[in-house]
Amino acid sequence: MSKTIRITHEPTGAVIAEGPKGWGITPFEGNLYIRKKYLREGEFKPNFIPGLCFYKFLYVWMNWTAPDNTTVRSLGWLYFLPNPLFPFIWYRIGIPRYHPELVIEEIPIA
């Protein structure tokens, strides 16, 4: 059965992303990687704090700004020099699945 994943920022009620589970929104290692076409409300912008994962390579942290201008610092990240063995993370916004301000819903598609 197919599922849609909806990611909502609970304090503002903004739907950050909504799309099909799989290549649209990919769960991996307790995180969710979102294709840009499934981002909905608000905007992710790099805060230029770099990071390094020894097997996924180089990323930059991203701040998210809600439609009401509430900003959540370092809510996500983007691999700008990703490991070629993980195409499902290439240039996608990654967010933690268990962030205290996020509500993650998996909705079955009939």
Give 93-105 pLDDT, tens digit per residue: 999 999 999 999 9
Residue 110 has pLDDT above 90, yes or no: no
3-108 has CATH 2.170.150.40 classification: yes
pLDDT higher than threshold 80 for residue 48: yes
User: pLDDT (tens digit, 9 = 90+) per residue, 6-25?
Assistant: 999 999 999 999 999 999 99
Where in the chain are the domains?
Answer: 3-108
Look at residue 87 and tell me whether its pLDDT is greater than 80: yes
User: What token pair was written down for 57?
Assistant: 């390579």
What is d(CA 46, CA 32) in angstroms, rounded to the nearest whole number? 18
Contact criterion met (CB below 8 Å) for 10 and 99: no
What pTM did the predictor assign?
Answer: 0.94
Q: Is the pLDDT of residue 1 over 90?
A: no
Q: What count of residues does the chain have?
A: 110
